[in-house]
Amino acid sequence: MSSRKGYRLRELDFLRGIAILLVLCRHSNIHEFIVNMGWIGVDLFFVLSGFLVSSLLFKEYILTGSLDAKRFLIRRGFKIYPLYYLTFVLYLLFLRNQAFVPLLGDFFFFQNYMSGWGYLYSASWSLAVEEHFYFGMYASFYRL
């Protein structure tokens, strides 16, 4: 099936669906075995994300002969940051008496080091891992 920017693989959509179901199972109380299998969904999302991001980078390299890591980071930032910071502000509006230092961890994607998980939104740890990967990738391109 062709999409606007190339080809969409139904197999990857199927794997995304399985990952979603596994994550939902992780947060359910259906059965202990099913709850314990939920971590596989998060790992599957990381693998799919790595595959899809690297395929974008390989496509750019094949087409242009180089990688523009700065452009890549800016594009990813416009996809991730607006919604993340919108939800961050909404959490702040509805939650009172939050500790300041853990909030800084969430704001700058260091929640994994400061509170173990996300402080305001516990699942934000996975976004922090993704951001660390992107900035590590950028640093490796430019050998910072």
pLDDT given at position 3: 45
94-103: long-range contacts, CB 8 A cutoff, minimum separation 24: 95/120
| Alpha helices by DSSP H, 95-124 | 100-107, 111-114
CB atoms within 10 A of CB 128: 19
Residue 62 tokens read as 């094949």
Identify residue 79 by its one-letter amino acid code. Answer: K
For the whole prediction, is pTM greater than 0.75? Answer: no
Rounded distance between C-alpha atoms, residue 111 and residue 118, angstroms: 5
The tens place of each residue's pLDDT in the chain, 144 residues long, gives 444 455 678 899 899 899 989 888 887 778 888 778 888 988 898 899 888 888 888 888 899 988 888 888 898 899 999 999 998 898 888 877 778 888 888 899 988 888 778 788 777 888 888 888 888 877 877 765
pLDDT 10s digits, 104-138: 888 999 888 887 787 887 778 888 888 888 888 77
